[in-house]
Amino acid sequence: MSGRTIIITGASSGIGAEAARQLVAQGEKVVIVGRNPQRTADVARPIGADYFLADFTHLDQVRELARQLDERYGRIDVLVNNAGGAAPRRRVTDDGFEQDFQVNYLAAFLLTNLLMDRLVASQATVITTSSIAHRLARLDPDDLQLERGWSVMRAYANSKLLDILLTRQLQRRFGDLGINAVCFHPGIVSSGFARDVGGWLGRWYRSRLCRLVMTTPAEAAGIVVRLAEGVPGQDWTPGDYCVGARRASTSSAARNRGLAERVWTMTAEMLDIEA
């Protein structure tokens, strides 16, 4: 299965960068997407990977990224939706969306759907980074932007629940066409993530106790590699949420098909796309 084209977003550091290195070592053709020009180039050049720049706080850059990828690559065998973060305070992007909602979920929804024809033609795997934090989500479909009751953890947890709902709807809608979607919790990773986050989430992430249970980016990236290299339906079940590379249970909200369908429809309307 070597030599396939694998797109990894959020790959200028952390899990994405390590996954890129490991996959190139396995003989795969990796394409790196990052926000920071220097860091992205510094990851891509030593391993001979193509790279593209896109800041997911700007959806026009996501649309341009999709156009460039579709134009450049005749096949996309694996799309890894890994870009994400946790804002230290409630921020609204220039597109008018709460930042965590847009960066962690909305951009992945948009990029995946804009590339769908290419992904279907390639019988692709779509891997999305979620989190065990989804269990702490309090998702109100009538207030997806958290205009009421915003907190660092709620914004992040809601976005990670949405990533699971996205994965399951991708599988329901496009599985018969050859798409295989999966999402995973990478563990508590020692990386730049949440470095600037405020509140108790930031304090916990930077605490000595948290550091004791952290995993390394290389270890977490190994999960991406196992899912990307694995055979859907044999090594993992399409539509699943994994902790590590093994199937895991989710919150009841993550299993709510009605909620998943409602949010999918609302998201497509927000983005003015047919999905």
- DSSP 8-state symbol, 143: G
Query: What CA–CA distance (Å, rounded) separates 245 from 255?
Result: 19
Using alpha carbons, select from 75, 36, 30 the residue that is nearest to residue 56.
Answer: 36
Query: What CA–CA distance (Å, rounded) separates 64 from 111?
Result: 10
* The pair of three-digit structure tokens given for residue 250, joined into one six-digit string: 């989710």
73 is catalytic: no
Contact (CB, 8 A) for 120 and 179: yes
* The pair of three-digit structure tokens given for residue 69, joined into one six-digit string: 């990828």
Using alpha carbons, select from 121, 90, 120, 95 the residue that is nearest to residue 107.
Answer: 95
Which 3 state secondary structure label does DSSP give 243?
strand
| CA-to-CA separations, 272 to 100, 110, 128, 269, in angstroms, rounded | 20, 10, 22, 5
Start-end of H helices in the chain: 14-25, 37-47, 59-72, 99-100, 107-114, 116-121, 152-174, 199-205, 208-213, 217-229, 257-271
Please pick, among 51, 73, 105, 156, the residue that the annotation labels catalytic.
156
Q: How many CA atoms lie within 13 A of 222 on its CB side?
A: 8
Return the active site residues. 156
